[in-house]
Chains A and B, each alone.
Chain A
Amino acid sequence: MNEDLHTLSGAYALHALPEQDVLLFEEHMARCEACAVEVRGLSETAARLAMAAAEQPPAALRARVMARITEVRQEPPLLDRRAGDRAPGASRAEGSRAGDSRVEGSHAGDSRAEGDREGRTPGEVVPLRSRSPWRRRAAIGLVAAVSAAAVSLGAVAVDAVRERDRLQQAVTVIAAADARTVKYPVSSGGTCIMVMSPSQGRMVVTARGLPPLPDSRVYEVWLMSADGARPAGLLERAEDGVTTPLLTSPRSDDLRLGLTVEPAGGSDQPTTTPIMVADLPAA
């Protein structure tokens, strides 16, 4: 019986199973790790067959697709259970989305990755203005900051989902195998922490100990290339003087990351002297 079901892996990977067999096989696969692994390899193989069939699509297709995506809302990522526990308000905010109650293994590696980081050396980039180079492992503290921010999410239902998604993306960057951490002092007080993952093409920026600002002012982050600075986002204070992690994607020509104080809402160009300028970790 099982042997018989097992031979369906090829037909399954080719989508050649009739409906009722699909269900049977998927049931079987849920209990058979070897089958799931085999199917994965066979599906990868089938995808190569698709590559061989590649054909230039009509030019109009791009225009239609690009127009369409501006009207389509993107799905939030699926949450794993731990993240759900940390931010119960956040998961509830999604209401009864069927997809969210199902626990996917998408971030099952997070805890392992946190452990991995303990053995890794921090980024060796030398801060521009630091008096004492950063030699501690900031990532662990940052993960803690992310969790703290997640806990603090709780009640703000409207923003919670977006916030939660962002945190999850941030954790992905921090947990990436090639993540490098750099910490810089901020001249007005506090510390800015950056974690860059070349493989993810993204960077997480957060800070702690920044002096509180009046409501009319915000901390704004900048990515700076030879052509000038462009806004990378605002650093918002969360609990305990730690800011909510900001996710940004530096371009290859971005050289530095800067921090300024700007009028509420942020600016398009820096209007004050940077309180920190950091070399970006080399990709």
Chain B
Amino acid sequence: MRTEREPAGEPVPGEGPGLEELLSQVALGHEQAFNRVYDLLAGPVFGLARRVVRDRAQAEEVAQEVLVEVWRTASRYDRTRGSALSWVMTMAHRRSVDRVRSAQASTAREERVSRMSGEVPYDEVSETVTTRLEGERVRRCLGGLTDLQRQAVTLAYYGGYSYPEVAGLLKVPLGTVKTRMRDGLVRLRDCMGVER
């Protein structure tokens, strides 16, 4: 029920001058186009980094790296290989995951793992997800998964855990986790009507 404009939260794929078009302009060095790309993507990129790395300052660093990377490599985006959103979010997620995994040796990581046991980030997702349409849909679709599917997917994606770690957290065999990640995502995909 926010009333202020919050452009950062609402990139709707397929509406307005799409990200794809904006990126092709960014590739030509248009800073104005990049400004709009920032409007569309800074929210999801920062939010995702926050969720995965937790630490606010580090999440800002990750978000900055990713957004500058979008500027730098916009010409490498190839729309035949997927949406621009997916291209950027893949980058953002990978960077975030790299950040937490490189800190893996630290005890903070261990503590984090034990703290997370039994607790599923799904609830946090429901909290932060506002009334945005996309968020609503994601939440509804997550709700349609089995517990194990949902935990496997959200621990990996929002928690940044590898599948062996997820198996450890959930105390289920590796093979089961792999399968749940896949069929969970497949079910999400079908629920969200993602184009294949």
Which A residues fall within an 8 A CB radius of B? 7-11, 13-18, 37, 40-58, 61-62, 64-66, 68-70, 72-78, 99, 104-106, 108-109, 165, 169, 172, 199-202, 247, 249
Q: Are A74 and B29 in contact (CB under 8 A)?
A: yes
Q: Once bound together, how far apart are the Cα atoms of A115 and B68, in whole Å?
A: 37
Q: Once bound together, how far apart are the Cα atoms of A158 and B93, in whole Å?
A: 37
Answer whether residue B166 sits at the interface, using C-beta atoms and an 8 A cutoff. yes
Q: Are A201 and B17 in contact (CB under 8 A)?
A: yes
Q: Are B185 and A14 in contact (CB under 8 A)?
A: yes
Q: Are B162 and A16 in contact (CB under 8 A)?
A: yes
Residues of the B chain whose Cβ atoms lie less than 8 Å from the Cβ of A15: 93-94, 97, 156, 160
Q: When the two chains form the complex, which single residue of B42, B44, B184 contacts A53, counting CB atoms closer than 8 Å? A: B44
Q: Once bound together, how far apart are the Cα atoms of A72 and B29, in whole Å?
A: 11
**Residues 147 to 196 of chain B near chain A (Cβ within 8 Å):** 153-154, 156-158, 160-164, 166, 175, 177-186, 188-189, 192, 194-196
Q: When the two chains form the complex, which single residue of B10, B76, B181, B186 contacts A77, counting CB atoms closer than 8 Å? A: B76
How does the 8 Å CB contact mask read for B45-81 relative to A, with 1 for contact and 0 for none? 1111011000000001001100110011111101011
Q: Are A14 and B64 in contact (CB under 8 A)?
A: no
Given A16-B156, A42-B189, A43-B86, CB of A51 within 8 Å of CB of B138: yes
Q: Once bound together, how far apart are the Cα atoms of A192 and B163, in whole Å?
A: 59
Residues of the A chain whose Cβ atoms lie less than 8 Å from the Cβ of B153: 10, 14, 49
Q: Once bound together, how far apart are the Cα atoms of A249 and B32, in whole Å?
A: 12
Question: Which A residue's beta carbon lies closest to that of B74?
Answer: A74
Which B residues fall within an 8 A CB radius of A? 6, 8-11, 17, 21, 24-25, 27-31, 34-35, 38, 42-48, 50-51, 60, 63-64, 67-68, 71-76, 78, 80-83, 85-86, 88-90, 92-94, 97, 125, 128-129, 132, 134-135, 137-139, 153-154, 156-158, 160-164, 166, 175, 177-186, 188-189, 192, 194-196
Residues of the A chain whose Cβ atoms lie less than 8 Å from the Cβ of B93: 15, 46, 50
Q: Are A53 and B47 in contact (CB under 8 A)?
A: yes
Q: Are A76 and B75 in contact (CB under 8 A)?
A: yes
Known: A37-B196, A44-B189, A106-B76. 17 other contacts (CB 8 A): A8-B178, A18-B163, A40-B81, A40-B82, A43-B86, A46-B86, A49-B158, A49-B188, A51-B134, A56-B9, A56-B46, A66-B31, A69-B31, A69-B34, A73-B72, A74-B74, A99-B76
Q: Once bound together, how far apart are the Cα atoms of A47 and B45, in whole Å?
A: 10
Q: Once bound together, how far apart are the Cα atoms of A7 and B164, in whole Å?
A: 14
Residues of the B chain whose Cβ atoms lie less than 8 Å from the Cβ of A202: 24-25
> B121 to nearest A CB, angstroms?
10
Q: Are A17 and B163 in contact (CB under 8 A)?
A: yes
A-B contact pairs, 10 of them (CB 8 A): A11-B156, A16-B161, A44-B82, A52-B138, A53-B44, A54-B44, A54-B46, A56-B6, A57-B45, A69-B31
Question: Which B residue's beta carbon lies closest to that of A57?
Answer: B46
Q: Are A10 and B46 in contact (CB under 8 A)?
A: no
Q: When the two chains form the complex, which single residue of A45, A53, A78, A200 contacts B189, counting CB atoms closer than 8 Å? A: A45
Q: Are B135 and A68 in contact (CB under 8 A)?
A: no
Q: Are B75 and A42 in contact (CB under 8 A)?
A: no
Q: Are A77 and B27 in contact (CB under 8 A)?
A: yes
Q: Are B9 and A54 in contact (CB under 8 A)?
A: yes
Q: When the two chains form the complex, which single residue of A9, A53, A247, A249 contacts B125, counting CB atoms closer than 8 Å? A: A53
Q: Once bound together, how far apart are the Cα atoms of A62 and B194, in whole Å?
A: 30
Q: Are A18 and B162 in contact (CB under 8 A)?
A: yes
Q: Are B72 and A172 in contact (CB under 8 A)?
A: no
